[in-house]
Homo-oligomer: A and B are copies of this chain.
Amino acid sequence: MTTATASRALADTACEAEAACCVPTHGQNALEPAEANALATRFKALADPNRLRILSIVSSSAEAETCVCDLTEPLDLGQPTVSHHLKILVDAGLLNREKRGVWAYYSLAPNALDSLAATLTQKA
């Protein structure tokens, strides 16, 4: 129960051999750098207020489908900027893009947000 505290005290006294001072019992079960990068990319897609609002609008729209021109006004952003944000969300796997005629319809990628949420809860 007090394993970490005890080993911490142990490490305190054992601080003489080299620069390492604390218990190096971690690092093997930690997130792999490559995996951490992939996860960070998906969270980075969520780390912008306008992109969160895009997801909110898309998911709350009648058919869960939205075109670019539906977003420029409520977001108060230019069309190139909206397209840029949409591309980031699509690249992150959070949105799907379907072009029908002149319009491009965006919809939530099924289970994408859920799997991201599962990554958070299982870690705790």
Binding site for B on A (CB under 8 A): 2-5, 7-8, 20-27, 29-31, 33, 36-37, 39-40, 43-44, 46-53, 55-57, 59-63, 65-67, 69-70, 73-74, 103, 108, 113-114, 116-118, 120-121, 123-124
Contacts and interface: CB of A to CB of B under 8 A. Distances in A.
Given A22-B69, A26-B70, A47-B44, A114 B121 contact: yes
Contact of A49 (B5, B33, B117): B33
Contact of A52 (B8, B39, B74): B39
A26 B121 contact: no
A62 B3 contact: yes
Given A62-B3, A70-B22, A120-B116, A31 B53 contact: yes
